[in-house]
Structure 1
Amino acid sequence: MKAYPFLAALALVAFAAALGTLYTRTVEARELSAAVIDMEMRLNAAQLDAKELRGQNEQLTDAVTEQKRFATELEVKWQVESDEMKKKIRDLEGCEAEKNELKTRLGTEEEELNKVKGNCAAFLNNKKNQRRSRRSKSRPSDPDSSKARFVQRYLRTPGTGGQCLSRLHKPTARLFTRNLEEEGAGFEYTVFANKAERRAVCLFQAGPLLEGPPGHVHGGAIATIIDSATGICATYLTGFVMTANLNINYRK
């Protein structure tokens, strides 16, 4: 009977130890549960951070892609502009070479022109090639002859070459000074340039060898007269537009 209290005390001690162990385990379980909850919270936060980072990464990827596309467009545009600029430079270099060539040709032609001018001046200044027409009281048929500038030119075309005699007279000079019936291949013409009315009248006579069928005259004579009359009008008259009316009147 004496052994029962000891066993009861031992059982009580064992029960108390078991309760202590259970309490300790409960506390540890609670701490572990709290740690798990905290870990889950951290995991959720990490997942949110990872999701946000993935979004930022996608944005950065899109931005990088856009920048690459923009850089590619700029490179293509720059290449096109560079090619165009190179082409313009080549064109300018070609134009510069052509310009230099034209300058060289112009200088050569100016030298030749100066030589021709010198030869013409020497020819016209030679007294043997100059001739004065006789004066008379006859006046040109121009209605305003007092204001007209009388210019007379004589051209002769023999088979050996042409001779050009140039004369300038007042309106009182005779229209023609030679009898071209005696010279088969000559013609003489007179231009009246009226500066007041800004018009000109041209009269001419031709030798028998320059006259063709009725209504026809040698084309070289007509071309010479038109060229001369145009030059006289451009020199002595004003205006930007000139018109010409060619009338041929034959005296029977």
Structure 2
Amino acid sequence: MNPTPSYSLVTQETLELQPLPEIIKQHTAPLHFNKVDFSHQDLKRLDLTGALFEQCLFNEADFSYATLDETRWLGYRLGAATFRSASLVDAQFRNSDLNNSNWQRARLSQANFDGCKLTGSNFNDVSSLGLAFSECRLNSANLSGISFYKATLDNLDFSDSDLSGCDFRKAVFTNGGSLAHARVVGARFDGADLRDADLGGLQLADAKLFKGAIISKAQANILLRGLGLTVL
């Protein structure tokens, strides 16, 4: 187990006295931002490796091309924030609002999202090796091309999301979750266990994509109703 790092505390008052780039240069230890409001700020290309963000605000903040590897984000609001082409390897997000955030081309290898709201977020073309979600709302999000191969998907809401080309082979949905009305063109579900997932609203043309998946009798009836058949 890695030792707990020593942090240099940064508050709202600290940032009112000194610009963030200068604070970064002066500290060798990772920074701990507590209750800081970064809303609408330009944070592009900053190196904040290992930083801890606790109860901070980032509404519409721009982290494009920033280095955010091994960062920890706890109880914050990042609505409509931009992480385009940022590096977030091994970043950890907990119980936070990330609705409508933009992660295009970000490096999210080994990143983890737990208990987060990600409605309408864009994960197009991200590096996703080891990327994990748990108990997250991902409805209406763009997740095209992401691999969930052999993943345990705990209570994930993918309803109305773009899952085109995603790899769900041998994935297991647990404690609920939803694929209702999701776009699944080109996705793979071979060996996936979907018995806990809501499959409502999937189109007839999508049924062949679920070949080899494990579903319940009730789910099978839902898919057959798309053919106009009634199972008695």
Q: With structure 2 as the length reference, what TM-score do the two structures score?
A: 0.24
- Higher RCO (CA < 8 A, seq sep 6+): 1
Larger radius of gyration: 1
TM-score scaled by structure 1?
A: 0.22
